[in-house]
Chain A
Amino acid sequence: GESVGLHLPTLSVQEGDNSIINCAYSNSASDYFIWYKQESGKGPQFIIDIRSNMDKRQGQRVTVLLNKTVKHLSLQIAATQPGDSAVYFCAERSTDTGNQFYFGTGTSLTVIP
């Protein structure tokens, strides 16, 4: 899984399978979390967000789960497609750091056709 400051992990999945990308955070004052997708040479693209008063949020083919007890965030992608291949990273906003966002290093997802 991903965590702020670690090397970029990789994940390979077969097309059609589900993908789970993990993110650990350390600041208990973080109250808002976002998942981004970044393709090579492009800027990050918003996927889904979740507030700290929620445990789960669903979008189109994506689900974000938040476990505040262990400070863990995950992104689930259903029926992964080749177009999902990209780097995914989480961002957290903390109330004790001027409400700024801090970003993980990302996980590189490769979908095998």
Chain B
Amino acid sequence: DGGITQSPKYLFRKEGQNVTLSCEQNLNHDAMYWYRQDPGQGLRLIYYSQIVNDFQKGDIAEGYSVSREKKESFPLTVTSAQKNPTAFYLCASSLGRILSYNSPLHFGNGTRLTVT
């Protein structure tokens, strides 16, 4: 089955530790995205990548870092600099602008990160 896999589903960390969330897709999509979801708020864009070895900051990139070394993978690191890291993190992918301008985002099932 083609899709987006996020792991782990639940993650617990102590304050001050960096943590990396995994996102893998086998849809052959060029573009990948990381969103953060908090209760009562819409999804907010952290980082996105339109192509391998390139990525851009979204609206709330502070305290996060990403890499895009492979087309299939877009890991997100939540650093100790992120002030409120506890949230539900969603990874998404799309065909990308080059292949299809009106291409919807396809989401994984998320990772719930709790930092205490």
Contacts and interface: CB of A to CB of B under 8 A. Distances in A.
Contacts, number: 52
Chain B interface residue number, banded:
20 to 34
Contacts of A99: 97
Interface in B69-116: 90, 92, 97, 101-102, 104-110, 112
A61 interface: no
18 contacts: A5-B42, A8-B40, A41-B109, A41-B110, A41-B112, A42-B109, A43-B92, A44-B90, A46-B104, A46-B105, A46-B106, A49-B102, A91-B105, A100-B45, A100-B48, A101-B105, A103-B42, A104-B42
Interface of B: 4, 6, 35, 40-43, 45, 48, 56, 58, 90, 92, 97, 101-102, 104-110, 112
